[in-house]
Amino acid sequence: METIFEKSIDMRHKDLKAVEWQVPQITPKKDYGDYEFQASLEQISNELLKTFKNYRYEAYKNWGFPKWKRAKLNGYEPDKYVSFVPVSTTGKILGLNGIDQDGIEILAKYDFEGAHRKFLLMAEAFSNTGFYLKTNEGEEREPITLTYDWKFPIYETSVYNLSPFSKATVIRYLMPSKNERLFRTTSNRIIVKENASLELININLCNNDSINIDNTLIEVQKNGKVEVIDLNIGGRITSPHIVFRLAGEGAQAQLFPYFLGDKDNVIDMLYLMRFYSPETTGAIDAKGVIKDKAKAIFRGFLDLKKGAKEANASESEYTLTLSEKAKAEALPSLLVDENEVNAAHAATVGSIEKEKLYYLMTRGFSLEEAKKLISSGLFESAIDRIKVFDEGMSQVVKDVIFQRI
């Protein structure tokens, strides 16, 4: 079987190559080992899945935890392991143990780096939760909600397998938790087959001590469609990593990242869209707010491969900084191997326009209120979209945003 490995950055062209940044690794003093691995295996009965996990566990041993300069992560030592974490669901979706041959092939065929290889392998080897979504051809699945009540470390491996001409909506909701050290890392593979369409909404409401690393690879096949809202709020390190493979002719992907950081939060994002086929369309439209000493690191890569003729690639990013110690970093990149394409990106960083503030203040709002109103307005379209599926959830999100801004 042909296997696919998506590197986050591919620095080669013909006989030429460029130097690639190697993230330093730190071997932890204590790490998960056989004991935790066995505990994880005991939760499943699927032999194929066990084989996969075994393979990933062996790979896991070869890696150290990363040293991330920008996100201020200096290696990592895992918390006490819990072998099963319940996630409440609405709608029809299987646990990962229910994965079929088709799903296992997806696990075996598609691989990627994730925010860091160690964290990706960790989510796979020690998975304590996970899902398998498989639609039938032409099926329109009722929206699915996954609610993660975050009390223990979460290690998730999931596969969504959307058959041709089917439709699904998945809302992954990481509930707000008390301020304590919490950890989540995930490994999600999503295949959207011919003419299928997926709407994915990630809502990550993280507390100020938590680390949340959410790794997702999405392949979109011929005329498939994907729309993702990725909302990340708070967190000591919140690190979404989403890779899109626009593999089939006419595949479409739209990504709307939203981020909000306050206090010492670090939101460290990597979004990559790789265009392989003719007439593919991909757009990233990111917005966020940072205040206090928070830092937002936005990496948005559009990578157009040879053969992606008449592909349309676009990206915009806007960061609003609300305090003088907040740090906005952006690396919006365009990588192009094919000249018959349309590709552009733009990034802006700024503060609130004074005129807007004055206007609101003449209407009786205080300066603080005016600032809150304007900056929370950035999240409006995300909140509206969530509201369509769950009004209560959208209210929680709204409150959390308003409270933090």
Partner 1 sequence: MAKNENVNIEDLLVDQSKFDFRNPETYAYKTIPGLNEKIVQEISEQKEEPTWMRDLRLKSLHIFDTWRDPRFGVDVSDLDVSKIVAYIRPRAKKSTSWNDVPAEIKDTFDKLGIPEAEKKALSGVGAQYDSEIVYQNIKKELENLGVIFLNMESAVKEYPDLVKEYFMKAVAPTNHKYAALHGAVWSGGTFLYIPKGVKVPLPLQAYFRMNNPGMGQMEHTIIVADEGSEVAFIEGCSAPYYEITNLHAGMVEIYVKKGARVKYATIQNWSKNTYNLNTKRAIVDEDGIMEWVSGSLGSHKTMIYPSSILKGKGAKTETKAITYAGPNQHMDSGSKVFMFAPYTSANVDARSISIGGGWAFYRGWLKIGENAKGAKASVSCQALMLDNESKSDTVPLIEVYTDEADVGHEARIGRIKEEQIYYLMSRGLSEAEAKAMVVRGFVEPFAKELPLEYAIELNRLINLEVESSIG
Chain residues in the site for partner 1 (CB under 8 A): 13-19, 21-22, 304, 306, 319, 321-341, 343-351
Determine the 3-state secondary structure of 403 from DSSP: helix
C-alpha 281/C-alpha 283 separation (Å) is 7
* Residue 276 Cβ vs partner 1, minimum distance, rounded to whole Å: 15
Query: Of 83 and 314, which CB lies nearer to partner 1 in the complex structure?
Result: 314
Look up residue 328 and give its two tokens. Answer: 């906005």
Query: Of 57 and 318, which CB lies nearer to partner 1 in the complex structure?
Result: 318
Instruction: Look up tokens 């006989």; give the residue.
Output: 15
C-alpha 243/C-alpha 112 separation (Å) is 8
What is the enclosing helix (H) or strand (E) of 358?
helix 354-362
C-alpha 68/C-alpha 297 separation (Å) is 12
Query: Of 189 and 291, which CB lies nearer to partner 1 in the complex structure?
Result: 291
* Residue 329 Cβ vs partner 1, minimum distance, rounded to whole Å: 5
CB 109 within 8 A of CB 3: yes
Query: Of 15 and 355, which CB lies nearer to partner 1 in the complex structure?
Result: 15
DSSP, res 95: E
* Residue 64 Cβ vs partner 1, minimum distance, rounded to whole Å: 18
Query: Of 26 and 334, which CB lies nearer to partner 1 in the complex structure?
Result: 334
Query: Of 1 and 16, which CB lies nearer to partner 1 in the complex structure?
Result: 16
C-alpha 132/C-alpha 349 separation (Å) is 39
Query: Of 328 and 397, which CB lies nearer to partner 1 in the complex structure?
Result: 328
- What's the farthest any 2 CA atoms get from each other in the chain? 67
Q: Is the dihedral of CA 399, 400, 403, 405 positive or negative?
A: negative
* Residue 297 Cβ vs partner 1, minimum distance, rounded to whole Å: 9
CB 134 within 8 A of CB 161: yes
Query: Of 96 and 326, which CB lies nearer to partner 1 in the complex structure?
Result: 326
C-alpha 385/C-alpha 389 separation (Å) is 7
* Residue 231 Cβ vs partner 1, minimum distance, rounded to whole Å: 22
Neighbours of 364 (CB within 10 A): 8
* Residue 125 Cβ vs partner 1, minimum distance, rounded to whole Å: 29
Instruction: Round to the nearest angstrom and report the end-to-end CA distance of the chain.
Output: 50
* Residue 173 Cβ vs partner 1, minimum distance, rounded to whole Å: 31
Rg (C-alpha) for the chain, rounded Å, is: 21
Query: C-alpha distances in angstroms, 13 versus 245, 338, 341?
Result: 19, 12, 18
* Residue 363 Cβ vs partner 1, minimum distance, rounded to whole Å: 24
Q: Is 250 left (phi over 0), alpha (psi -120 to 50) or beta?
A: left
Helix axes 47-60, 117-125, angle to 10 degrees: 150
Query: Of 105 and 338, which CB lies nearer to partner 1 in the complex structure?
Result: 338
* Residue 15 Cβ vs partner 1, minimum distance, rounded to whole Å: 8
